[in-house]
Structure 1
């Protein structure tokens, strides 16, 4: 008998060596089970998607609701402070004319403005008795008052650099009602009111200002016009300061010495709005709620994934036995089912994200809230689906890979 040649031995060894599968081959095998069992794969992914969609919804809707609540609280002046002289001082304390500019130099301050009481009297016309007091205050106003108060114009325009030097006024909502001024309409003559025996033209009416009810009962005159027409001395009586919320207490502590360094104790600064405390409590409460709801939803989805994958792998022992009989080794069997588990989890996770986002956007839009989809929830949902899918597929795939072909086929 002739001894075998090295070439023939190499051929024989190559024939018996297990075939190495590339990553693409493994993915193809994992997708094979999904493609051939489409209904089962769809139902398996459905359980995952419901869990992920639930997590997106229970985090997205409260996040949008919280954002709407925080916007409403911000509109109430959570970041605004009022600086004014201590009342009932003899002689009266006068803030410096540039007090607002001095406050603006504080680092966390984002905006300032000022008004001043001109002590003028206002009437609807010159035919009204001088003793007929309307209970309105005539204030000299800076041009940047509206953003400082989160205020807006209901009709007409606010004071501008083009008209602040002329006898023009803007009325608060209550002042317009008491003076009998109707909303201004384009193309119609602007009404006039009588202030200190001078006619002033009404160019705008403000919406209600929740931050400063005193502005609602005021008649606002340009700073320069108040000097020339009403003999205003230029000293503000109230300075409005807006600052970053996380530094509002620090700004409050340095404001007196900043706007009136000679006698800081003669200046009072309003304390931060109660709405700021409510806003911070709302942030903390909603954050805890997010964590609890997301955890419950992910746990439900994870149990569904684990149950589906365990049953899927255990029911396919005949396929495992057949592949082992055809030469597939344990690693290939294990990788095939792990890949299928990951694919199913990924498909379910993606479907759940889409469903959750659509449901959240639809509900939030109906409620007219800002749309907030927490990115962390989306990432955690996909990551959690993959992790749970891998975890659920590890044990049954390892157990199946250890079966011999005869055992696998006999137990099928």
Structure 2
């Protein structure tokens, strides 16, 4: 027999005794495994949801920031408004999804319901002229009534944002509510919900852009164009917008496009991961304490067995080794099952939220080793306690 054989036999014997020890009390073993399952499952779930949430945040930010362009009239060169065909020319650029013009009006006097309205507060609602299709561009849902279309583009009508409608006490557009602004009465025809791309203007009072141009001189309003592009086309479109707006005077329009730097993505991802990982580690620590308690209970229940083995010649190291191996086996089992449960939880939450699931292979493969480490670390103290049991006292207590 080679010099290494006795060690192999010893390890085989320890493994056999550990399995027998676990089988002597299946309920206790399952309870300990549940602790590992909870700890490892928490880590796998949190890391999976973090990766999935990061992907969702990145997608949302990309759609909003990297697909939005704002174009201002360059007053420095004497321009005051956009050419009338500017929107149609911009829509013709490859990669443009939609475009709209907003004319923010110098209020002069607050807009009020006719003949009167509840006090809207210290800040009166803003009034802006918007082109047809504006709400499609800013992604604002219609809650009541109708929106401004081509047939109403030169009529004194108004659409309220939900917040402004609440401030003014407008609950139903069917009541034929009238708003007075700069001496003109506008009929409220619709109420819209929050917009994802232009929350300020879409939340106040919108009237037809064409009506504003026919009604007010250019020095009483400021125009801005909102352009929405396909993902990845923003930078290229931004270089062409000014020429499309005014082919013979491209300097009269200034496009503003700022793609979100990758460093912002990394910072958000790192902070989110750190926060969730901290929560997972707390859960793992709590699960580890549960394993320690179960293992200590096992030591108390098996004091007579430990004392008998010590009386028959087992050394303290053998006792420690057996209990650590038992904890390791429980940890591997709980870790493997916890990893599977964690992945299922990630898939379930992603489906429920309508997200694209992101699973990290290293996390899945590391579930069982993590469970092993958790089991061994949590079982080390109870194993040392077991090794300190006196054979005489243990046998006397069990008699």
Contact 1:53 1:355 in 2 (8 A): yes
What does 1:311-326 correspond to in 2, within 5 Å? none
Secondary structure, aligned partner of 1:170 = strand
SS of 1:241's equivalent in the other structure is: strand
Q: Does 1:83 align with 2:71?
A: yes
Residues 280 and 32 (structure 1), Cα distance of their counterparts in 2 relative to 1, 3 Å cut: same
Q: Distance in 2 between matches of 1:52 and 1:127?
A: 66
Which structure: larger Rg? 1
> Any conservation in 2 of the 1:59–1:374 contact (CA below 8 Å)?
no
- Gap regions ≥5 residues in structure 1: 1-30, 129-133, 309-340, 392-412
1:384 and 2:366 aligned: yes
Deviation of the 1:214 alpha carbon:
4.5
3-state SS of the aligned residue for 1:106?
coil
- Counterpart CA distance in 1 for 2:91 and 2:206 is 25
User: In 2, Cα distance between the equivalents of 1:141 and 1:257?
Assistant: 20
How far did 1:53 drift?
0.8
Q: CA RMSD in A?
A: 6.1
Residue pair 1:115, 1:238 contacting (<8 A) in 2 also: yes
> For residues 10-409 of structure 1, what are the structure 2 equivalents within 5 Å?
38-39=26-27, 42=30, 45-46=33-34, 48-60=36-48, 62-63=50-51, 66=54, 79-90=67-78, 92=80, 94-103=82-91, 105-107=93-95, 109-116=96-103, 124=112, 137-143=127-133, 145-153=134-142, 156-160=145-149, 164=153, 166-172=155-161, 181-185=168-172, 188-194=174-180, 199-207=185-193, 211=198, 213-216=200-203, 218-221=205-208, 223=210, 230=215, 237-244=223-230, 246-272=232-258, 278-279=264-265, 281-283=267-269, 285-286=271-272, 345=332, 348-354=335-341, 370=353, 375-377=358-360, 379-385=361-367
- TM-score calculated relative to the size of structure 2: 0.53
| Structure 1 position 81, deviation (Å) | 1.7
Q: 1:244 to 1:238 in 2, by over 3 A?
A: same
Residue 237 of structure 1: SS of its match in structure 2? Answer: strand
For residues 113 and 357 of structure 2, what CA distance do their matches in structure 1 show?
A: 57
Structure 2, unaligned stretches of length 5 or more?
A: 1-18, 117-123, 296-327, 374-399
Q: What whole-Å deviation, never above 9, does each CA across 1:125-184 have from its counterpart, x for those lacking one?
A: 8989xxxxx8954514222x224324345654433467556543213578768xx84223
CA distance in 2, matches of 1:277, 1:389: 34
Distance 1:140 1:388 in 2: 58
Name the CA distance, whole Å, in 2 between partners of 1:288 and 1:263: 51
1:240 deviates by 0.8
Question: After the TM superposition, which of the residue ranges 282-291 and 200-209 deviates more from structure 2?
Answer: 282-291
CA distance in 1, matches of 2:266, 2:89: 29
TM-score, reference length from structure 1:
0.51
